[in-house]
A and B are shown apart, each in its own frame.
Chain A
C-alpha cells in the first residue's frame, strides 16, 4: 500500500472516530491541530487504526509518534513486514 493510500485511509478513520467530516490530514498534522483529538480519542484512534490495517503497535512506537506522517510511516513499515 502506497503512503498516500495509507494517509487517505487514516483520514477516513479520523473522520469516523472523531465524528468530523471536515478533517483533512497532512503529514504535519498533530493533536494540536484537531480539537477533538484528545487523550481518550487518541486511544480510540489507535484501536481503530490497528483494526483497519491489521497491525499492532507497541507502546514505545505510540510514544514516539510526533505527527500523522510518523504514524503513516509506522503503518507502512508494519505492512511491509
Chain B
C-alpha cells in the first residue's frame, strides 16, 4: 500500500472506547503507577475531583489500537506521538477518538493524523473534548517487515 492509498482509505476514522475496570487495572499493572490520584477515591476528592482520575496514558493505548488495528494496513509503525490532556477522564467514561489527516509526506513515507478525544457520556447528547494530539506513522517496506 502506498502512502497516498493509505491516506485515501484512512481519512476520518473514528472509534469509541469505554474505560472499563479491566482496562484500568490492566494499565495499572503494566505501568506500576499506584499514585493515589488514580487509586484512592478520597484522595482524588480531596484534590477536587469527583472520583479516581483514570490514567491519561490509557488514551495513548487507544492511539496504539487506532494505528495498529484500525488503519487499513498492518505494515505500519508509529514514529512520533503527542497528546495534550485537557480534562480528566473517569471510570466508565465513553470516549470517542476522532482522527483526521494533517500531513502526508510521500518523501518521508509518513502521515500525521490529528486526534481528538471526546467524552460522550455528558448527558443531553453533549460531548466534551478531553484530549487532543497527533500521531505520525510510517509505512514499513518489505525489508523492514
Contacts and interface: CB of A to CB of B under 8 A. Distances in A.
Say whether A and B bind each other: yes
B5 to A, nearest CB: 15
A57 B108 CA distance: 9
A61 B107 CA distance: 8
Interface string B106-122: 11111010000000000
Main DSSP-derived SS at the B contact region: strand
A43 B106 contact: no
Interface in A53-70: 56-59, 61-62
Interface string A33-64: 00000001001101100110000111101100
Nearest to A45: B108
A69 B131 CA distance: 40
A57 B80 contact: no
Q: Interface size bucket, B side?
A: 10 to 19
Contacts of B112: 47
A46 B79 contact: no
A52 B56 CA distance: 31
Given A43-B110, A43-B138, A50 B79 contact: no
Contacts of B138: 43
A8 to B, nearest CB: 22
B57 interface: no
B108 to A, nearest CB: 4
B73 interface: no
Interface of B: 79-80, 103, 105-110, 112, 136, 138
